[in-house]
Amino acid sequence: MQSQTEHPTHVNAEGDLVDGRCLLLEEVNFKWLMAGMRCWVDMSLFRSDPSYAARYLKLAEESDSLELRKCAAALEAKNGITGK
């Protein structure tokens, strides 16, 4: 049986894992939505270069696709990067 002091650590670790998976799914969704607009996003560069990410987020925000705009907003919120 786990003690109460061990449980919050497990929840935090699991929460981080879930957050990481959600971010990854959001990034994959963004990549394919952008590909649908014939914009090929290098996600490694997107993660490591804020100016590169901002350029593609700006394109997404200007898109006619509501789904792409929502996805870009979610990535901005999770990563603190803005395309504005």
Rounded Cα distance, 17 and 14, in Å? 5
> pLDDT digit string (tens) for 8-36?
444 455 566 667 788 889 999 999 999 99
pLDDT of residue 23: 86
DSSP 63: S
What the block records as the tokens of 26 is: 């959001």
Overall pTM > 0.75? no
pLDDT surpasses 70 at 76: yes
pLDDT of residue 35: 97
> pLDDT digit string (tens) for 29-71?
999 999 999 999 999 999 999 999 999 999 999 999 999 999 9
